Amino acid sequence: MEDQRQNVLKKVHGAAPLTVCSKTLHKLRGFIVVMCGLCALASAPAQAGDTIKVGLVLQLTGPFTDSGRQMLNAVKTYMSQHGDTVAGKKIEIVVKDVGGPAPDVAKRLCQELVVKHNVDFIAGFGLTPDALACAPIATEAKKPTIVMLAATSIITSKSPYYVRTSLTLPQVSEPMAQWAYKNGYREVYTLVADYGPGHDAEGAFQKAFVKLGGKLAGEVRVPLKNPEFGPYVQRVKDSKPQAIFAFLPTGELPVAFMKSFKERGLAQAGIKLLATGDVLDDGVMDAMGDSPLGVISTYHYSAAHESPENKSFLAAYKKIDPITRPNGHAIGAYDGMAAIYAVAKQLNGNIDGDKAIQVLKGMKLNSPRGPIQIDPVTRDIVQNVYVREAKKIGGKVYNVEFETFHAVRDPGK
């Protein structure tokens, strides 16, 4: 690799000493331009002394850029609020871009963070496969690893050094089923994106709903690349259920879905939309216009959460990114940083993998989303799940919380 490049360079220098006549040089101009460009890319990472290093593995390009951005911004937000020194040590962030679901790249980046950068914490992980692929490295290198987003239940069981500060999908899907049944919905149609997390959400909702005595009016899985929701929404409308339960990954799918839902007049046909917060993600709410009004969703965080912590978080976030609203992805990263700061403080800056995990187990934090705790056994997050309704506040649509399920554990375990 590095060496292949140098090999190429060697050939260049060996073959063409710089004394070649100017005519030759002129002909080779293009080649030299490219080569110089490549040389300029070589850079050695600087080593710092008294620091605590945190390696962040994020999706900063590719189809999940938005989520990676939110997370990076949240990390910056936390550091802007709390300074970059803890227990006399400077917190240094090493950011790596995975560029989408790419477990092979993620694993390589983790390995590099460990062997090259010698980080004290690994953190980030937007997507499940990336987190799963890195588990053996965290275990072998004994690096405390904060999963800041990836939401599949099993992740934390893959390494004793894994801790999660985000959510699991069943954690928010199951309360939706309970709320729906309690509020008189008996026949619900499920609509989820056809991929692993979608299947998880569907399973969790259906299981809980049927167990309570509800009936499924039908189920449909929509492809992840699906610019046209018409036929699916029509199918749901034709079967006239009381409500739909929907899970779609944050991004353009929920926008297209909400537009279709509104355009085909499902609300007027008396069909209530229930969803996980991913569908009504704060980051894409502005792109949806008024179509989400009245939709009920369950999630762990809403930008409209009323608390002083959230207020100061929102204000600080706005300084980092004035355009976008922070969403549930951002909050996981924010609390992940909070956890890292807390560990560093408690261990007085001397990070040791096993001790760090001991501190993390059972840790309680006052997050902008409300109180959270790390389960001492599963190292997964225990948090409040809120039932929200989309309402207009000051000209913009927000998810306003009106009911709380307290200290919910991941039902997937």
Partner 1 sequence: MSDNLAKVSRHLSFLRARERWKPAEIVFWLALVGVYFAFPTSLVFASQILITGLFALSLDMILGYAGIVTLGHAAFFGIGAYAAGLMAAHGWHEPLSGLLVAGLVAGIAGYLSSFLLSRGGDLTRLMITLGIGLLLFEVANSATKYTGGVDGLQGVEIGKLFGVFGFDLYGKTAYVYVLIIAFLLFAFTRSMMHSPYGLALRSIRENQTRALAIGIPISACLTNIYTIAAAIAGIAGALLTQTTQFVGIDVLSFQRSADLLIMLIIGGTATLYGGFVGAAVFLLAQDRLSNLNPQYWQFFLGILLIVMTLYLRSGMLGGLSRLADLFRHWRNKERS
Partner 2 sequence: MHSFLGILFDGLAYGALLFVISVGLSITLGLMGFNNLAHGVFAMAGGYLLVTLMSKAGIGFLPALPIVFCVVALGSLVLERTLYRPLYKSTPLNQVLLTVGIIFIATAGANYIWGSGQQPVVIPGWLSGQYAVLGLDLSRYRLFLMAIVAVITFALVFGLERTRFGAKIRASVDNQRTAEAMGIRVERVFQLTFALGSGLAGLGGALGVDVLGLDPNFAIKYLVYFLLVVVVGGPGSVFGTLLAALLLGVADIAGKYYVPQLGAFIIYAAMIILLLLFPHGLLGRRKAK
30 binds partner 2 (CB under 8 A): no
75 binds partner 2 (CB under 8 A): no
294 binds partner 2 (CB under 8 A): no
Of the pair 94, 172, the CB lying nearest partner 1 is at 94
DSSP 218-244: EEEEE-SS-S--HHHHHHHHHT--SEE
Of residues 322-341, those binding partner 2 (CB under 8 A): 323-324
Among 255, 339, 382, 390, binds partner 2 (CB under 8 A): 255
66 binds partner 2 (CB under 8 A): yes
103 binds partner 1 (CB under 8 A): yes
Among 38, 212, 269, 287, binds partner 1 (CB under 8 A): 38
Of residues 220-239, those binding partner 1 (CB under 8 A): 223-224
226 binds partner 2 (CB under 8 A): yes
**What does residue 376 show for φ and ψ, rounded to 5 degrees?**
-65, -25
Contact 109, 133 (CB under 8 A): no
Q: Which helix (H) or strand (E) holds 371?
A: strand 370-374
Of the pair 112, 252, the CB lying nearest partner 2 is at 252
Stretch of 126-134, 167-175, 259-267, 380-388 lying at the interface with partner 1 (CB under 8 A)? 126-134
227 binds partner 2 (CB under 8 A): yes
Tell me the Cα Rg of the chain.
24
Picking from 360, 352, 347, the residue whose alpha carbon sits closest to that of residue 88 is 347
Query: Residue 126 carries which DSSP code?
Result: -
329 binds partner 1 (CB under 8 A): no
Minimum distance, C-beta of residue 69 to partner 2, in the bound complex (Å): 5
By residue count, the chain amounts to 413
Which parts of 48-125 fold into alpha helices (H)?
65-82, 103-115
Q: How many CB atoms lie within 10 A of CB 218?
A: 15
3-state SS assignment for residue 58? strand
How many residues touch partner 2 under the rule CB under 8 A: the total is 41
Of the pair 63, 136, the CB lying nearest partner 2 is at 63
Rounded distance between C-alpha atoms, residue 320 and residue 72, angstroms? 10
Encoding tokens for residue 119? 């980080």
Query: Residue 396 carries which DSSP code?
Result: E
82 binds partner 2 (CB under 8 A): no
Among 81, 82, 85, 99, binds partner 1 (CB under 8 A): 99
Picking from 176, 164, 169, the residue whose alpha carbon sits closest to that of residue 365 is 164
82 binds partner 1 (CB under 8 A): no
The residue ranges that bind partner 2 (CB under 8 A) are: 61-63, 65-66, 68-69, 194, 220-228, 230-232, 234-235, 238, 251-252, 255-256, 259, 262-265, 283-284, 286-289, 321, 323-324
